[in-house]
């Protein structure tokens, strides 16, 4: 009996060490990712910090890039220069697109950028049966080999909820994607409803 307790205890300790190790590893990866994201917009940040003249042409490449669009908007907001943000990217769809791409890059998700990303539709849900609506932007995305998710093909990603009064780059509290939710298995409406029922309530 004692030997079984010893083995069980050793297994529990090993599991604990694995959890701690994994937690530290993920935290380290996230810190690295945060640094990498700052490096992507450092040239634009440096111009503001050095009081250099910044115009719309300087901003455009950063707003156009889905991986820097969201942080560029925040940077301009912080420096009170939102008038330089290009109007074609000042939409909820474009902000949601950037939010999803950045979410997918986290080490706890795909740990990479999507190679292709396309907006499918907006799904509107009456969340209380009283004509109070929330909106979700649904995208499809894919990654190329050799990434493990390449075999899934086009997967669905959901960003929201947004409200009638929401503005571009308002923070969405239920960005989510299930790699098993591919376009040939799940509809955009079904996936948005799943996120609404299973992720929004948890995050809220």
Per domain, the residue ranges of the chain are 2-84, 92-203
In this structure, the number of other CB atoms found within 10 A of the CB of residue 87 comes to 8
pLDDT value of position 32: 78
The 10s digit of each residue's pLDDT in 68-102 is 999 999 999 999 999 999 999 999 999 999 999 99
Task: For residues 128-139, give the mean pLDDT.
Answer: 91
Q: Following DSSP, what letter does each residue of 36-66 receive, concatenated?
A: HHHHHHHHHHHHHHTT----HHHHHHHHHST
Distance CA 116, CA 85 (A): 24
Q: Is 70 exceeded by the pLDDT of residue 19? A: no
Q: Is 90 exceeded by the pLDDT of residue 21? A: no
Q: Is 70 exceeded by the pLDDT of residue 6? A: no
Predicted TM-score (pTM) of the model is 0.83
Burial class of 141 by CB neighbour count within 10 A (0 to 12, 13 to 18, 19+)? buried
Distance CA 97, CA 35 (A): 21
Residues present in the chain in total? 204
Q: Is 50 exceeded by the pLDDT of residue 23? A: yes
Nearest C-alpha neighbor of 135 from the set 164, 176, 115, 156: 164
Angle at 146 between CA 174 and CA 24, to 5 degrees: 55
pLDDT value of position 131: 85
pLDDT value of position 24: 63
Mean pLDDT of the chain: 87
Strands ordered across the beta sheet of 116-126: 116-126, 133-142, 155-162, 176-182
Could you give the 3-state DSSP secondary structure of residue 161?
strand
More confident residue, 37 or 173: 173
Task: For residues 48-56, give the mean pLDDT.
Answer: 94
Poorest-confidence range of 35-49, 85-99, 165-179?
A: 35-49
Task: For residues 25-34, give the mean pLDDT.
Answer: 70
pLDDT value of position 127: 82
Q: Are 195 and 158 in contact (CB under 8 A)?
A: yes
Q: How distant is the alpha carbon of residue 178 from its chain centre? A: 12
Q: Match 């190329």 to its residue by tokens.
A: 144
Q: Is 80 exceeded by the pLDDT of residue 115? A: yes
């Amino acid at each position: 009996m004692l030997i079984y307790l010893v083995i069980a205890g050793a297994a529990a300790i090993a599991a604990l060490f694995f959890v701690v190790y994994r937690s530290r590893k993920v935290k380290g990866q996230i810190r690295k990712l945060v640094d990498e994201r700052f490096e992507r917009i450092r040239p634009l940040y440096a111009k503001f910090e050095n009081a250099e003249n910044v115009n719309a042409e300087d901003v455009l490449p950063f707003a156009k890039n889905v991986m820097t669009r969201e942080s560029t908007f925040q940077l301009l907001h912080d420096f009170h220069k939102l008038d330089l943000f290009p109007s074609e990217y000042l939409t909820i769809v474009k902000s949601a697109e950037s939010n999803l791409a950045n979410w997918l890059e986290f080490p706890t998700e795909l740990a990479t950028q999507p190679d292709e990303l396309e907006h499918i539709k907006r799904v509107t849900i009456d969340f209380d049966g009283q004509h109070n609506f929330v909106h979700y932007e649904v995208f499809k995305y894919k990654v190329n080999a050799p990434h493990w998710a390449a075999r899934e093909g086009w997967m669905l990603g959901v960003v929201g909820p947004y409200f009638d009064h929401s503005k571009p780059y308002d923070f969405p509290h239920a960005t989510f994607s299930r790699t098993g939710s591919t376009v040939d298995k799940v509809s955009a409406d079904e996936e948005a409803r799943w996120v609404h029922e299973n992720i929004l309530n948890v995050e809220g």
